[in-house]
Structure 1
């Protein structure tokens, strides 16, 4: 430890990270702290691996253009500790992050859900993704361009949809990486269709003739219990964003395909108008989550203003919630329609649907759901309130009684100023606060991320302006940098 090896940006794509390696005479466990500029902005992690004599310390959360102070603490089995402070110099932020002006108007750090190492990821629609602390300071970014997809896996790795050539329009390179930028796996998709063999990029002859997809995993990516991933894709036909594929995480082979045209009434998609790209975007699936309790999936369809649940093995519909009148559904579907309780809002163009308390002893017939309701009437939304506000909403579904009840919401009081016609996210925190991304505020001129308590009091408010073309905050996540399940091992 008298002369450790320190490498800032060890893999060339994560300039605000570092790798520190050294050895000790005795077996020690190691933790570190990146010293913050203000209270509650230090990042502290314990290196997984227990007591060892050889140490690899993955450091994340450095400040840009700064000589950072990083305290390394070693503790032996007797509880004795030693500390050494290292200096780590970083460079300036790249232009597409530097030009995104961040303004924090509220940061009640004692009430925010930030713990000892949490940052807010600004998952952008394009360009470099980055993460900020409670002061709005950038503490991590990836030089790979990403689009829509940044998901943290159970092992602490992250999945980023990127592209090899930043000048290309096509995002078809899915990376399993970590916050240091180390790549563990890479899945390359064909640019001509997303209904392909992800490992080899081979599609059908019919698909090869179709117009290329610029974003092969267009909105969401989910890790299944068997560690395969479920992705929202297009099938290469004139219909788009209405298909899901399960990909084997070891081989890259597609092992399951779900075509929503085969599950929903033909009247929904057969006469839907084509868009300017010549494609029929009748469903526009923008979210999927897996229910561990009954092995089902829930999905969000923006363009039908609809959420629904499917048995994952059989694709059998379990329930549907939509503003579409019951009488307009074919009789065979009416048994699946949830009835809203008094005061429960109809979703409109919603985003970011996911289950709360998933797998933690919750009953499969009693589900709590969080989503971001854009509140825009696309096909079946509420015409009276459409465009007046957007909000985060929590619902309770009782599938035995086939009812849905709105249990919490925030955003209506902000009015039209925070209305967003597209994108957005809501994420419940461990302390019951909710982090809300009004991603397309003022028609994309800014993204506004707000953290509120259950009573609706704002404890964090940051605005991102002047983002480069289309680099809005598609979603905002509050996540640990890094999780307790993450272990760095250069030998593997």
Structure 2
């Protein structure tokens, strides 16, 4: 094997004008010795750009030549930073080298001559150290109408030194067309995840605001194919360091290099997966979906809307499911009556901004993806699900019930965080009582107004997750219909991240932390968003994902829409646990009319390079 190696720069040709075309390039290397002889060519083989066609800012340096084939056992890859940028570095194991047939390269800058340094070791302890130059094409995250940029635009406002190495996975959503031929697979009225289609907008940014990875929308989504249409949502990292996400009528499992590990259809009786696909601590995947051909009491068959939770194994086989039509009350309208009809999740209708509907209207709505009471309408709108292995239960956030709810394997409700209005019978007994830090009950109205306290319930929430390390729960409180009403002035609205402590024996809930109220209407996010604890830094991640959806004037009442209406911005923050001042603050501005941020999470590249 190689006894000595000189660090040598290999000049590579431009990757390609089209991001999905692999590049093969080698150059002669001088000065390398093997048994006292010079070896021509690149001992590490050639470079495959975007090797799996799904992630344009990746590459693989192959281990093709006999001189190193099967001999390299480890590597370290470093991507040199732009001026003012963030360098990336990660280690590669022998198993990963053999999985990709070479050294995986992650984190290339788009439209840039990247410098990639590779250090590797062989079985005999010899080492190699080489620099590569690789030009990448410009980003193409999917083009459509009403765009003013090719991708969301980042403005970094603050990053503390101990967070500068952070990578954030961000999802954005934008409308698309072309799925009309598939509508007959859903409800007769044309609702469901096909009409709610979108171009995938997954990307990873560093703390300088540069995009270092994105998903190819052309290979992972197709509005004209049943198995590839739908809104790609809820991407989460699995225990094996890979990714899963839900999309239309199925879910996908992929590693960060773009290698598709599995693509699964939903189990046969279920449809319309969106919002959440998350691997629980028991190894199974929990998916928010709906049920087809669901019988009502009068014998009518309907397709339900966002009211079923599925548990499947990693092969896609159904393990269990939760039917919220039987577990909760599809006729509860306390929160539905208070909604701003202009933004019901990603169903954006400017003409209905600020409009509220009465009970008669909700009961007479056509079946489908419309907010209204009774099975077959969007009465629950569950948008997140989490699994608690301590008691084998799930935690869900229900936008249209303005509630975070814990439900056991026995399909019995354990507790509900929500104003008391509208909850009846046994469900009313499950509503938690708010208390202060000393456990003293707070005085609150049925609509949720509490006296002399910072405690607040959640309204149209978007996520609810257990913090296993703290035995608490985080919720993103979007804040529409706060106190089960619309405010006198729309600019009085705000969203917030909130953490609660639940005592299941005493059936009480205490608020222990919040952030966002002080941001006011500027970052009020009527839809989407996330709050989630990050155990690796003992920190809290928040993503206010849909601010400015209706413009800074509020967008209704006596205020006219201004020129910024529909130009959505979002705010990503990360706080050290318990602190109020964020350690990281990055604003992300939309690039397309009414395209909204969805969620964000942190990424540990050393965990995910596999």
TM-score (norm 1): 0.81
Q: Deviations over 1:323-348 (max 9, x none)?
A: 123xx533323332211124321100
Residue in structure 2 matched with residue 166 of structure 1 by the alignment:
none
Q: Look up the SS of the partner of 1:149 in the other structure.
A: strand
After superposition, the Cα gap between the structure-2 partners of 1:51 and 1:291, relative to the gap in structure 1 and judged at 3 Å, is closer
Residue in structure 2 matched with residue 368 of structure 1 by the alignment:
472
After superposition, the Cα gap between the structure-2 partners of 1:83 and 1:149, relative to the gap in structure 1 and judged at 3 Å, is same
Are residues 1:141 and 2:214 paired? yes
Are residues 1:20 and 2:44 paired? no
Structure 1: runs of 5+ lacking an equivalent: 163-170, 190-195, 198-202, 208-212, 488-492
Are residues 1:229 and 2:229 paired? no
- The correspondence for 1:158, drawn from 238, 243, 258, is 243
Q: Look up the SS of the partner of 2:139 in the other structure.
A: coil
Give runs of aligned pairs for residues 30-429 of structure 1, distance below 5 A: 30-38=75-83, 41-49=86-94, 56-75=102-121, 81-94=127-140, 96=142, 98-112=149-163, 115=165, 118-125=166-173, 126-127=198-199, 128-144=201-217, 145=221, 147-162=232-247, 171-189=248-266, 196-197=267-268, 203=269, 216-236=272-292, 237-250=302-315, 252-265=316-329, 267-268=331-332, 272-273=362-363, 278-279=368-369, 280-312=377-409, 314-325=410-421, 328-342=422-436, 343-357=454-468, 367-377=471-481, 380=484, 388-429=493-534
After superposition, the Cα gap between the structure-2 partners of 1:310 and 1:86, relative to the gap in structure 1 and judged at 3 Å, is same
Q: Deviations over 1:103-152 (max 9, x none)?
A: 3141324142x54xx42111123423111111111100011345222121
After superposition, the Cα gap between the structure-2 partners of 1:78 and 1:375, relative to the gap in structure 1 and judged at 3 Å, is same
Give runs of aligned pairs for residues 458-477 of structure 1, distance below 5 A: 458-477=582-601
Q: What's the offset of the Cα at 1:276?
A: 6.7
RMSD (Å), alpha carbons? 3.1
Q: What's the offset of the Cα at 1:179?
A: 1.6
Residue in structure 2 matched with residue 435 of structure 1 by the alignment:
541
Residue in structure 2 matched with residue 456 of structure 1 by the alignment:
580
Structure number with the bigger relative contact order (C-alpha 8 A, sep ≥ 6) is 1
Is the CA contact (8 Å cut-off) linking 2:245 and 2:276 kept in structure 1? Answer: no
Residue in structure 1 matched with residue 30 of structure 2 by the alignment:
none
Structure 2: runs of 5+ lacking an equivalent: 1-41, 144-148, 174-197, 222-230, 293-301, 334-358, 370-376, 437-453, 550-565
Is the CA contact (8 Å cut-off) linking 1:74 and 1:81 kept in structure 2? Answer: yes
Q: What's the offset of the Cα at 1:57?
A: 1.8
Q: Greater CA radius of gyration, 1 or 2?
A: 2
For residues 320 and 151 of structure 1, the distance between their equivalents in structure 2, rounded to whole angstroms, comes to: 25
Q: Which has the higher strand share?
A: 1
After superposition, the Cα gap between the structure-2 partners of 1:175 and 1:239, relative to the gap in structure 1 and judged at 3 Å, is closer
Q: Look up the SS of the partner of 1:71 in the other structure.
A: strand
Q: Deviations over 1:303-354 (max 9, x none)?
A: 1111111112x112211111123xx533323332211124321100111211
Give the length in aligned residue pairs. 443
After superposition, the Cα gap between the structure-2 partners of 1:4 and 1:334, relative to the gap in structure 1 and judged at 3 Å, is same
TM-score (norm 2): 0.66
